[in-house]
Structure 1
Amino acid sequence: MTAEQLLDVASVPGECTLAGLRTNVEVAIRYLAAWLAGNGAVGIHNLMEDAATAEISRSQVWQWIDAGVVLDSGDTVTEELVRRVIDEEVAGIGQLDRLDDARRLFEQVALADEFPDFLTLPAYELIS
């Protein structure tokens, strides 16, 4: 395996989808709300999720914005698109403890100009 092969994202099967973006946003925000409320792991859509899931989700969103990925819907992933998806997904979640904090935290770590090392670092400020 060469460095060029590892960086050849186009050779990976599959596609970037609007449904995938929505899932990343919703699951990360749901998990962050649970984490901020004191839960280390939580069932979301019949799957046990933890901080790694939220890290993967926010990382992918950040990377898709940074790379200007075009989704199956034809939309380019931009901060504006992600903010719209966040609005829609949070509205669909309804009432959830710490939801507003989770939303702000997700926006902070997924929409930053520079990629934050870990989402839990700024999260600790919300629980201390």
Structure 2
Amino acid sequence: MPSKRCICVVLLLGWSMAFAAIGKETAVDNYRTYCTQCHGVDGNGKGINIRDMSVQPRDHTDAKAMSGRSDDTIFKTIKEGGPSIDKSVLMPPWGDTFSDEEIHDLVAHLRKLCNCSFGKEP
């Protein structure tokens, strides 16, 4: 019969993992919080800030344009900002905000929005 101590440890570990999973923001959450102001709720590049922008944000639903960007390029753009790939200075670097894992998750989310992959349109 398992000891009370063992059962308590297992329960505490289970609860800790459950609470950690609840607190973790998903790529959808991060996109909604940090990206929609410029890129729009649907990712179509029509966020509420566009009227004040000299360069229009990327339409993440445009499969033709997005399939021309590698995952590495998208990752670098998110992490280091637009100027890192000779694009707009209006795209800020998010490397201090997101972990590499969160940026990879955002890249995967963008691939879902465009329904495409690098070099392949739907």
TM-score w.r.t. length of structure 1: 0.32
Higher share in helix = 1
- The structure showing larger relative contact order (alpha-carbon pairs under 8 Å, at least 6 residues apart) is 1
Higher share in strand = 1
